Amino acid sequence: MFRFELVHADRATGARAGLLHTPHGAVETPAFMPVGTHGTIRGLTPEEVRGAGAQIVLANTFHLMLRPGVDLIAAAGGLHRFMHWDGPILTDSGGYQVFSLAHLRRVADDGVTFRSPIDGREFHLTPQGVVDLEARLGADIIMPLDVCLGYPAPAAAVEEAERRTALWARRSREAPVAPGQALFGIVQGGFEAESRRRAADEIAALGFPGYAIGGLSVGEPRGMTYDLVAAVTDRLPAASPRYLMGVGVPPTSIEAVRRGIDMFDCVLPTRAGRTGVALTADGRLSLHNAAHAAALAPLDEDCPCPACRGYTRAYLRHLFKAGEMLGPRLLSLHNITFMTRLAAVMRAAILEDRFAAWSDAVLARYRTAW
């Protein structure tokens, strides 16, 4: 069954180390979660993703509903069997698509009507219906339908999104989930600290087993992101896990953990890898830079990933210049490995009460690199 165990809290910051117990295994937190929107981390096998250190992965209910369909996945024995991943899975609801596919949807109090970007079919998603879809997928952690805004947002739009997200959260909370599943509440609320606190209080009052913070990293200044994360985590139950949605750039991840975040995800590591950009301790490294054309050193001497163990920067650059698929695969593996190792290093620093000094030093190095 689902349960969160808070193992240790750093004495000088809000950083926490915990254990997330799920029906498909435990997850050590802080945890980075690779994004597999369509039930796959693009270009990689589940064995490779596990080998890169990933403990839990994401999939998107909206996209899986469109293709191949929840009925087929359920008939295959659920999403774990269908995608051949035996660890924990978190499914997003499709709430972000309310924001990103605005030209294809209509929003009302009873839910969202989408027109499929694939074949034009119309779908109506209700809060209860989304929970039912996710229950049938069989994910360990599921997200309710919510309303995400872009930055900036008019006060009236913020108020309406906050009201509707809370309304949908209450309806989602009443819907049955599959045995062992945990439905998290999502805090929205715009870009003012007071509205975020109000939204956090309203969602926390519903007694979810975990909480997510959505609607950030959508164009707002980074300093604002950090302030709003802190405003929310201060109002959420300490005994519950906290998930920052869609954030996974290394410095932002560190800043989020400083403010009490336990879980975070982002498409950036794999998306950057597919375009020839590696994440390193010194910032982004682009293999398209001519300086790497004859570089016979690895991306990172200390990294255990396949890209760093067996290949030089010059060879990896050659793969991208030649259009070979091995290049994006190797850099995707490297970037996931980098993020999971970063999370593990953060956990060790928290457990040893040295997270403040460690994060200050790392963030100072990143300040000019990101």
pLDDT given at position 369: 67
- Separation between Cα atoms, residue 212 and residue 244, nearest integer Å: 6
Q: Is the pTM of the predicted complex or chain greater than 0.85?
A: yes
Active site residues: 92, 265
pLDDT given at position 101: 76
Beta bridge partners of 73: none
10-residue mean pLDDT profile of the chain (370 residues): values are: 97 97 98 97 98 98 95 98 98 81 86 89 94 98 94 94 96 96 96 97 98 95 96 98 94 97 97 97 95 97 97 98 98 98 98 98 85
Residues whose CB is less than 8 angstroms from the CB of residue 273 and which lie 6 or more positions away in sequence, other chains included: 328, 330, 331, 332, 333, 334, 335, 336
The alpha-carbon radius of gyration of the chain (Å, integer) is 20
pLDDT given at position 187: 97
Beta bridge partners of 32: 264
pLDDT given at position 98: 66
Tell me the three state secondary structure of residue 277. strand
CB 273 within 8 A of CB 328: yes
pLDDT given at position 100: 76
Tell me the three state secondary structure of residue 314. helix
- The three-state DSSP-derived secondary structure of 171-230 is HHHHCCCCCCCEECEEECCCCCHHHHHHHHHHHHCCCCCCEEECCCCCCCCHHHHHHHHH
Q: Which of 5, 91, 79, 21 is nearest to 55 (CA)?
A: 21
Decide which of 3.30.70.2470, 3.90.1150.10, 3.20.20.105, 3.30.1180.20 is the CATH code for 3-267. 3.20.20.105
* Residue 194: CB atoms within 10 Å: 10
Length of the chain: 370
Token pair 């000094």 in the structure block, residue: 357
